[in-house]
Structure 1
């Protein structure tokens, strides 16, 4: 009789089969109870706190204009419920049937079913595809309808970007205002004349403006403390060390502090003079490889972009221009080779991170997903596990999905920062790439590796043992029963995904609570001296993180699709999460978050393509199930082969029917003869240059802000510029207030 195994032997056995120790009874119960209970308690606390913290829980009521303001919301405890109820949404599912313990839940899977009964799973596979295709098709039509409404809106019709084309990778010999026009004329000679502008090299201006903004903010902090009580100023003025970035740093006494207000005022004045001189000295002949061409008619601009979507006239690419505030200006001058090299480098680092994460993710799959496995290699913990069964049952249902979720909170930040360096020209384009990379990482590591690691490990161990005993590699692979082990593993791990989906409700409740902004705002206001600018930023509506949320929705949808055919309990768990989360996210979008860069619905294709991919993965899981448990002739498996191809054909169909109409306002060919005097109008060309030029050329330099109670004595303390920079002698003949995208040529 074999003796007890050592911890190393137990670890090797667990790597081979981590789910041989079933989840403790009640793990799913505890996940359901804690997720729903904590969500309810959080919602109640939110209802009590919300009326007294509208800065955190309804900033859009203060900052949104009349046109975009959300429905008014009262001060009552539950006053936030009725506005959500009345925003054209139907009542959502708020309760799900209680789910079973793990042993009972395993009976829902086809792990112990063979032969003819699995025809029902084949039917389920086709029903899944039919239902998914129907909803995707219906939503594609709705997106098209919303997109056309967006095109016809007054805001879009008056937008300059709506009638403007962006040309990239312009050859050096064509890098001029006239060259931009010739590039378009070479491909679409029948088009009307356009107002064109080529980009100019702004040199060090962005860096100087950044230094200027930093210095102004630093002075604001000094003034906020010094002028905290304007009627009783401190006897000593604030002092600071000179900045090492200051060119005149060596002229100041080394290691000694100087008057902070005088020094920062002087530094701001020097930077403003330097910025003005560099702006005035820019050589208009020092151009870059991108430019813009604007037309009087939106239909013409879109039709030209549609005609040139797959062409490169004279080596340049022609696309619809994004809104100016959506452009990543630092990436615009990058050459195609530089852009490709950056993209390759960033993809390499993401790929490396993806594979490096396999090892910690495997240990999470073995020990975090099932605490009983940890007890096998840690005898002291096994004693605790046996002694306090109820407590560790609760921990099993709560901790394991929570740890899995918390592990990935930092990933969106990492991926976004990597994508910034990849060379994307627009912020919305960068966000779409972040969604794609996050989804690929999550599906590979958090779904495929997490669910299949033990199968692969068991396969490798079995093949090694067989070959060591004299069996050839081919027979060892055939005798390993890889697909049968894979199928059983998926059935076993399905219970974990039920608990994970239930646990996600806690994340939705935490989003509603806005704990970090609430705590940060409280400490900033009570224990700090925030400047007026910081107070404005503190109370402004935060930006909605679309890439992260899109990825979460896509990932849990993929989990539900892949395991829905094996474990029916996954579907009500996903439905519960979705119904609650949609309800809570509606509040966030109505009253808290704003959209920083409006994409106009172009995220839809990213979401749609990944949903199709998730459905194809689900089709492969169903094929595996009926292949392993179906009749001996595999007729059921062969009947599921068309499913992935149905989704591919459906994707191609939707792309050809809807995409052009969604992307372009008009696709009709152009045949116009327009008066050429517009081309010679310098004022109109100047407006195009002001709105689609680099912000560093036209941006007004900020001035120090102080609290209203100290406004009267500011001029006696600060001797620098207090105007907004739009005076006639500012030196910026093309300066504009902000970067309005309105179509207003006079």
Structure 2
């Protein structure tokens, strides 16, 4: 049955143009509806769409966005890079710089492609079936750009010599492969130099505890004490040591704090259930009167009575107190109901005693310590030097920010972290093989013949309904691939957190790497080279015998999948970016989370800004960048570049809005994602050169194909050059960049562009975002010093009993945002 199937040429514009129109209509329907919904809801739901602006001090100086339908757009456009740097920090600045660089690069490439390459491609009409020696002169250019629609070929009027196969146009392919490679490397280099200058000036002009702290690992047993480490480092004459924190095995204390947090939440739920239906007097926080404040002071001295709401077993409320079921006896088979408030208060009192006792104990030291030097130059010299002649011993690295440390992983043995890392890596490799099944299935949907082999009736139906066929062949695969790109990062984020990394910044960089591996290997290479699962093993076995097979298969498939990737980028940009702006996931989950929320603490967490994770969004953007490069010279290149340009423009302003106004990014990576971005862009350049060599060779032009090959080792050499020349400056602070004087009088956010002056002379009036974040922080496990929170209940007036449950929940959520709820701490301070 399959041999009777007529295979339509996927490179023929007539076969792909209808698919693009269908995808455009579908994307516009999704995107426009989501964008209109966002413009309507934005002024009404400021707690969601302006969460960072209203709750973050760093974003408070940003210009207010008007409440009009489109009025926010020009204001967002006018927000400068200086304001992005000052408000959102280096990580956001680097992320948006990648999008801005891509807009410039692909804008230039698109104009050059339309002006030169498109006429060349149409003139030589070289859309060939692999192995065919004759050009097909019956193919018309796509009508997506009407400027090229008037071109036509009268095959009968052509001279016989014009019909002879020619490969002269392939020399133009060679020239533009070199030119676009050089243009991409130029933009990468220029942007890298600019980011390095800004980063050096930004970090060199600030003074935080992180900038002065090193992470010292591989500490031998004889040096595992604060005094010995301090003595050892000061003998090296690097600088004075201000403080040393040896990471100890605090796992038991961490477990107690987790148990306490769980018990505290259960107690708050019990009190909320008890007070929520009260129609008499409202329980008041102890800060309301002087006597209550004195009781708080006594409680802080006597931990036995801390965290209790006075005589909580005596209640003026009419409603019965809530109960909870406990299990006891042999194997916990017996149970009974007891008073929930009394039970959880007693459990909280017991765990508080254990925490207080545990904080006074001495725990086993580990080979890891955080050492704070007295100056930034001393810290930078330590991390850029070898401290010990023994391998893997006394290794100094830059320390993460105190709030960024995953303390539970600091006292994991190195062997345990290595086992976790290798286990996760092996699991991801196995998972990659698993993804072959759904990805190969999606690739099969692109061809009616493949569908006919599985479901003949569906194939017949699709052949008789062109629009339905376009939806199934193009809309469905692009939608499923896009959904995979949304869902898979959550799995890889979970696995990255299980690897035992020391900081959340390292976890996020790992997520970027893992998700790019998925998108590049499964969505691009497997989808393009192997097509369906039935082709995977034959192609793989053949590639072992001949290493050029992959290049030829890639070249053959890339041309046939041009319209698929056009539709994929179109859906990502026009269709899905407005949904990201709408925060569709958060918006749809909000009513569910609202119904599940019970206590004021739950409602306060509900209105916190969502977390922006670069590892979820950056890999897809890099994949689109690679696709634009790969297709830039090919016949479908001008369309891929056009939709790619739309993608980066829409992405830039979508992420700019979210990073500045709507979402928060608590990690502290200081722009270290930039070298990761550059290395993956260089991989894309290598794929572009490999594809062009294959495409030219398939058309029997072996001399220009051979001349493309030198670009591949050149790109590899540039990656080593980049690593030796630029990458150290994206990790460390140059000593010349460090501010020498203790006081500053020039604002870095306003003056960073003028880098002609020596960086050490730049000063600023205000603190940076990192200095604000780290004010008062120390490298100490919070389990040792964090205040033991008291219960958090609503201070507002009681419901009159006539409001519905939903009204009561919304009122509670509103009271949180208005400051009508309080958290009580042992120090007697009241924090909203």
Deviation sequence 1:551-593 (CA, Å, 0-9, x none): 1111221222223333312111211111112122211112111
Matched, 1:620 2:690: yes
Return the offset for 1:108: 7.8
Change (3 A) 1:133 1:268: same
Matched, 1:205 2:253: yes
- Match of 1:307, SS state, is coil
Distance 2:395 2:578 in 1: 46
Deviation sequence 1:684-706 (CA, Å, 0-9, x none): xxx99982122211122222111
Return the offset for 1:341: 2.0
For structure 1, the residue ranges without an aligned partner over 5 or more in a row are: 465-472, 671-686, 713-720, 729-736, 738-746
Q: 2:202 maps to which residue?
A: 150
Contact 1:225-1:529 within 8 A present in 2 as well: no
Matched, 1:45 2:124: no
Distance 2:692 2:187 in 1: 21
Distance 2:49 2:627 in 1: 32
Change (3 A) 1:18 1:389: closer
- Superposition pairs of residues 455-604 of structure 1, within 5 angstroms: 486-505=554-573, 506-525=575-594, 527=595, 530-566=598-634, 567-568=636-637, 569-604=639-674
> Which shifted more, 118-127 or 559-568?
559-568
Deviation sequence 1:265-288 (CA, Å, 0-9, x none): 1111111111111112x126x322
Return the offset for 1:661: 3.0
Q: 1:319 maps to which residue?
A: 397
Q: 1:237 maps to which residue?
A: 321
Change (3 A) 1:234 1:364: farther
- Superposition pairs of residues 1-80 of structure 1, within 5 angstroms: 4=1, 26-65=18-57, 68-80=60-72
Contact 1:114-1:630 within 8 A present in 2 as well: no
> 1:271 is matched with which residue: 344, 351, 366?
351
Which one scores higher on RCO, CA 8 angstroms, separation ≥ 6? 1
- Superposition pairs of residues 384-403 of structure 1, within 5 angstroms: 384-403=461-480
Contact 1:309-1:319 within 8 A present in 2 as well: no
Return the offset for 1:610: 0.7
Change (3 A) 1:19 1:690: closer
RMSD, aligned CA: 4.1
Change (3 A) 1:482 1:42: closer
- Paired residues, number: 671
Distance 2:562 2:527 in 1: 11
Distance 2:717 2:64 in 1: 46
Q: 1:191 maps to which residue?
A: 239
Q: 2:298 maps to which residue?
A: none
Q: 1:653 maps to which residue?
A: 721
> 1:160 is matched with which residue: 194, 203, 209?
209
When normalised by structure 1's length, the TM-score is: 0.81
Contact 2:19-2:474 within 8 A present in 1 as well: yes
> 1:629 is matched with which residue: 699, 717, 721?
699
Distance 1:361 1:652 in 2: 33
- Match of 2:609, SS state, is coil
Distance 2:388 2:694 in 1: 40
Q: 1:673 maps to which residue?
A: none
Change (3 A) 1:362 1:21: farther
> 2:76 is matched with which residue: 71, 84, 96?
84
Change (3 A) 1:583 1:215: same
Q: 1:225 maps to which residue?
A: 273
Contact 1:115-1:629 within 8 A present in 2 as well: yes
Deviation sequence 1:495-526 (CA, Å, 0-9, x none): 2111111111222111011122223323444x
Distance 1:354 1:251 in 2: 43
Q: 1:469 maps to which residue?
A: none
Return the offset for 1:106: 13
Deviation sequence 1:577-619 (CA, Å, 0-9, x none): 1111212221111211111112111111111111111111111
For structure 2, the residue ranges without an aligned partner over 5 or more in a row are: 82-99, 130-134, 136-164, 281-316, 739-773, 800-821
Change (3 A) 1:497 1:429: same
- Match of 2:335, SS state, is coil
- Match of 2:428, SS state, is helix
Return the offset for 1:20: 11
Return the offset for 1:486: 4.8
Deviation sequence 1:318-362 (CA, Å, 0-9, x none): 112211111121221233332222211111000010112212211
Distance 1:549 1:175 in 2: 42
- Superposition pairs of residues 174-189 of structure 1, within 5 angstroms: 174-185=223-234, 188-189=236-237
Deviation sequence 1:405-448 (CA, Å, 0-9, x none): 11232221211221222222111112112211221222111111
Change (3 A) 1:205 1:602: same
Return the offset for 1:452: 1.1
> Which shifted more, 216-225 or 356-365?
216-225
When normalised by structure 2's length, the TM-score is: 0.73
Matched, 1:292 2:367: no
Q: 2:511 maps to which residue?
A: 434
Distance 2:589 2:392 in 1: 54
